[in-house]
Amino acid sequence: MSNKVGILTGGGDCPGLNAVIRAVVRKSIEPYKYEVVGFIGGWRGVLDMEFEMLTRDSITGIVHRGGTIIKTSRTNPLKIENGIEQIIENYHKIGLKALIAIGGEDTLGVAKALNEKGLNMIGVPKTIDNDLSGTDYTFGYDTAVNIAMDAIDRVHTTAESHNRVMVVEVMGRHTGWIALAAGIAGGADVILIPERPFEIDKVCQSLKQRHKRGRDFSIVVVAEGAKFKVGPAKEEKLILQDQKLDEFGHVRLGGIGNLLAQAIEEITGFESRVVILGHIQRGGAPTAFDRVLATRFGIKAIDMVHNGEFGKMAALKGTEIISIPLSEAVDKVKLVSEDLIKTAEVFFG
């Protein structure tokens, strides 16, 4: 019976990945006595047989570090000719007992496909976007929200001093989780999210109303995936950095903040500036919440390996860490709740 467990981190990096790896390795060593094979660069490492054995030495002093000690990539084996077959062959060549994939919808989608082909797959949910179904939170999200909130706080004092509109663009490809939480916490006056395509005139009306009431500065938080409604047909428009697609078919978003600030200045006459947070939200040390959540996910994942709970993902439900089918996590995006939108709206305008 094999005692080798593989682990990989795929997709965009995220604060807390190292805490998951550390937890998996620690409990593998004791009590389970498994060896941990760390694949380098996500699925690319499995395809190219690039890996290193993770020992206690490899994982000391990493719980507080952002990024991932085993690197990551957006390599998609489903898009590579014979990619899945190659992974299955390498899995057996190494003699793995199971493979733990830490990732978002893309990485876990591949894990699900491999599980259907008979490999023993376990998933751990990761994304700063918090848009994976089946889990209340993904680790990395809390850190990103705190970074964005801190940025909004800083922008607040300069907006107030100059009587300006400050537009803060945050990440969030399909959903507005980061924008809403950071916006509520930072006291934003307008929050624009992918779930609610917006009309620029209405945004400007709301800012004008606020300024009429005697406030002469405003904070607008916008998720990179928010959509402008344009033209008489109110067509929804996404703002792209360029036309390139990654291997999972995703466009590169970003830049909506610039357009928004420009339009607000033109329509309202209020001087406007933009701050695009970008990858700052994904870098650096995880918050305590994310370190603990990531650690609990790692422990659960290795327990699931031990109990033979394959084809499943560790998930947070309330205060409990449970396991759910991978399909539940990847089949649909988790949109922000109506309740959170309604809470934010109380403070608009």
Question: Least CB distance from residue 173 to ligand F6P, whole Å?
Answer: 4
Strands (E), 175-237: 190-192, 218-223, 228-230, 235-237
3-state DSSP assignment of residue 281: helix
Asked if 70 interacts with ligand F6P (CB under 6 A), we say no
Secondary structure (DSSP) of 217-234: -EEEEEETT--EEETTTT
Asked if 12 interacts with ligand F6P (CB under 6 A), we say yes
Whether residue 216 lies in the annotated active site: no
Residues 230-259 that bind ligand F6P (CB under 6 A): 253
CB atoms within 10 A of CB 205: 14
Query: Cβ closer to ligand F6P: 109 or 172?
Result: 172
Using DSSP bridges, classify how beta strands 96-103 and 35-39 pair: parallel, antiparallel or unpaired.
unpaired
Choose, from 13, 57, 106, 129, the residue flagged as catalytic.
129
Residue from 128, 179, 313, 336 in contact with ligand F6P (CB under 6 A)? 128
Asked if 105 interacts with ligand F6P (CB under 6 A), we say no
Residue from 126, 282, 296, 300 in contact with ligand F6P (CB under 6 A)? 282
Q: Report in angstroms the alpha-carbon separations of 265 from 3, 201, 219.
A: 62, 12, 13
Query: Cβ closer to ligand F6P: 18 or 75?
Result: 75
Residues 30-69 that bind ligand F6P (CB under 6 A): none
Question: Least CB distance from residue 63 to ligand F6P, whole Å?
Answer: 22
CB 36 within 8 A of CB 3: no
Residue from 27, 126, 164, 173 in contact with ligand F6P (CB under 6 A)? 173
Q: Report in angstroms the alpha-carbon separations of 209 from 32, 119, 204, 341.
A: 63, 59, 9, 20
DSSP 12: S
Asked if 227 interacts with ligand F6P (CB under 6 A), we say no
Binding positions for ligand F6P, rule: CB under 6 A: 12, 104, 127-129, 171-173, 224, 253, 282
Q: Which residues are catalytic?
A: 129
